[in-house]
Structure 1
Amino acid sequence: TFSHRHAVVVGEETEEEYIPLNNISKTQEKFKVYNSPLSEYGVLGFEYGYATAQPKGLTIWEAQFGDFANGAQIIIDQFICCSESKWKRYNGLVMFLPHGYEGQGPEHSSARIERFLSLCAQNNMIVANCTTPASLFHLLRRHLTYPFRIPLVLFTPKSLLRHPECVSPIEAFTGGTRFREVIDDDYVKPGKVSRVLFCSG
């Protein structure tokens, strides 16, 4: 959250704007970043419509805290989780929902993963929690290379945003690497596993 403040660099003397992410490739799509009002219901509805109108774009809505999705629950229930079955429309909107106990209190700590898991029983959206930069990169890249559009709900622990140990080597981004749905423990022998625990946050 708030790490996009340097998405646009403004010259102090000339006030000329420079957007680094618009200068990666000559054939790339245009990168745009917008600040939006704190109305989750209205803004998420707009982002849903924008993602529908721009199916080849990467449209990301980031909540300041994960529980802010509560104010947009109608959009999630009536459009995002059922866009294909109810409205016959594909939609590739990405939702970043911060999740974890660093959220400045109990009301801001949970993005309600259980709520989204109950909404995706028909493979109608992807729910993920990436814990490495390489995982995030590959997940977003895979999301754009699918021949169809499907919503992606991504739980993003704020504590990993600037954590010194939350890094990925360059090799994890290149050379045939891909998104791994489960990252195994290297030190565990598969034959010795007696219990698998799923946890998040």
Structure 2
Amino acid sequence: MIETEEGIDWAVGEALAFATLLVEGNHVRLCGQDVERGTFSHRHSFIHDQETGERYDHVMMNQDEELFTVSNSSLSEFGVLGFELGYSMENPNSVVLWEAQFGDFSNGAQMSDDNPYVIPEMDPTFRKQIQECNWQVVNVTTPANYFHVLRRQIHMEFRKPLIVMSPKNLLRHKDCQSNLSEFDDGAGHPCFNKQGTRFKRLMKDQNYHSDLEEGIRRLILCSERKKIGGKDIAICRVEQLCLFPYDLDQRELKRYPNGEIVCVVPGRANEHGCIQLHRASSWNCQALWMKSSTWAAAHLQPPLLDFTKSTSKSKMRSSRKPCKL
């Protein structure tokens, strides 16, 4: 991968993020159940000798070993994440990560996510992470963007917790690859910020349109969506769900003055950032379609919801017909 400068996958992108942060002298701390190997065997931060039991750290190279901490913790989400949250507050210049072994294992940890502080004499209020603005929530879809969002945590001028909600199928997906040129720090590039990272909060359409942008009939705002071959449809991927990139979104909408704006999310209405995208829709969205990703979800709720919004009134209807792009 490094020699050809192509085909960098998710695991290598993460390792490059850790390595570059360590070279800069930053402390990287990773915990969670089976994080040394990675739940789906993609990380392998340490290699163990089967005969001697010795552990080889291939990430540290010549750096101080104390800067890189990877600890397999028990499956006690609330306790472990609560400790790590306090650790990050006391050490703001450290990159502290807690990894849920599976997505549904964040249920217990959500109490720490939603209430990082306690209001005296009041009961805690639990809410979905995506609905609050005291956390950053991203759904990155490329190894390079994952690399940059990890580096952004330490290079920002302020500290704000980050929740990465990327699906596990991207770990080895053949289309989820980046070129080495996408991992540079962007020195001297006018579009890059001053923090030595170029995380893309929003990715504009990457299809080749033979027609003029005025001929695009539909602009799809979505997350983790694969590009399609339609010449009259543009797809814009929202990589950062919260805080919503209003500036980039408005700039992208102006490119397609005649396009119908559609927000498409997989899953049910209370999942996958649907509420956040709907709240952030300060523009006049003609439709918001949500397609159920599983039969179980379809059983609990109609697999397709069509929200039609106008200036005078709003109506909602449910349908089991497939979503036509």
Determine if the TM-score, normalized by the shorter chain, exceeds 0.5: yes
Name which of structure 1's ranges 129-138 and 68-77 shifts more when overlaid on structure 2. Answer: 68-77
Residue of structure 1 in register with 2:199 after alignment = 179
Q: 1:8 and 1:137, CA in 2 relative to 1: closer, same or farther beyond 3 A?
A: same
Superimposed CA distance per residue, residues 81-119 of structure 1 (whole angstroms, 9 cap, x where no aligned partner): x59xx7xxxxxxxxxxxxxxxxxxxxxxxxxxx921212
Residue of structure 2 in register with 1:195 after alignment = 261
Superimposed CA distance per residue, residues 21-68 of structure 1 (whole angstroms, 9 cap, x where no aligned partner): 211x64797111111111111111111112122211111111122222
> Which structure has greater strand proportion?
2
**CA shift for structure 1 position 14:** 3.9
Residue of structure 2 in register with 1:15 after alignment = 53
The share of aligned pairs that are identical, in percent, is 42
Residue of structure 2 in register with 1:36 after alignment = 73
The 5-angstrom pairing of residues 1-201 of structure 1 reads 1-2=38-39, 3=41, 6-23=44-61, 26=63, 30-79=67-116, 115-120=128-133, 124-174=134-184, 176=186, 178-187=198-207, 189=213, 190-191=255-256, 192-199=258-265
Letter in 2 for 1:69: S
Looking at structure 1, the residues matched to 65 and 143 of structure 2 have their Cα atoms a distance apart, in angstroms, of 22
Name which of structure 1's ranges 44-53 and 69-78 shifts more when overlaid on structure 2. Answer: 69-78
Residue of structure 2 in register with 1:94 after alignment = none
**CA shift for structure 1 position 141:** 0.8
Looking at structure 1, the residues matched to 66 and 150 of structure 2 have their Cα atoms a distance apart, in angstroms, of 15
Q: 1:116 and 1:60, CA in 2 relative to 1: closer, same or farther beyond 3 A?
A: same
Larger radius of gyration: 2
Looking at structure 2, the residues matched to 175 and 78 of structure 1 have their Cα atoms a distance apart, in angstroms, of 34
Q: Secondary structure of 1:60's match?
A: strand
**CA shift for structure 1 position 73:** 2.8
Looking at structure 2, the residues matched to 151 and 183 of structure 1 have their Cα atoms a distance apart, in angstroms, of 22
**CA shift for structure 1 position 17:** 2.0
TM-score (norm 1): 0.72
Letter in 2 for 1:157: P
Higher relative contact order (CA 8 A, sep 6+): 1
Q: 1:199 and 1:35, CA in 2 relative to 1: closer, same or farther beyond 3 A?
A: same
Letter in 2 for 1:18: Y
Looking at structure 2, the residues matched to 68 and 184 of structure 1 have their Cα atoms a distance apart, in angstroms, of 32
Note the aligned Cα RMSD (angstroms). 2.7
**CA shift for structure 1 position 147:** 2.0
Number of aligned residue pairs: 167
Looking at structure 2, the residues matched to 28 and 125 of structure 1 have their Cα atoms a distance apart, in angstroms, of 30
> Which structure has greater helix proportion?
1
Looking at structure 2, the residues matched to 170 and 150 of structure 1 have their Cα atoms a distance apart, in angstroms, of 28
Looking at structure 2, the residues matched to 174 and 32 of structure 1 have their Cα atoms a distance apart, in angstroms, of 25
CA contact (8 A) 2:147 2:183 kept: yes
Looking at structure 2, the residues matched to 152 and 46 of structure 1 have their Cα atoms a distance apart, in angstroms, of 16
**CA shift for structure 1 position 175:** 5.6
Q: 1:180 and 1:174, CA in 2 relative to 1: closer, same or farther beyond 3 A?
A: same
Looking at structure 1, the residues matched to 66 and 74 of structure 2 have their Cα atoms a distance apart, in angstroms, of 25
Letter in 1 for 2:203: I
Letter in 2 for 1:10: H
In structure 2, runs of 5+ residues without a counterpart are 1-37, 120-126, 187-191, 193-197, 214-254, 267-271, 273-325
Q: Secondary structure of 1:33's match?
A: strand
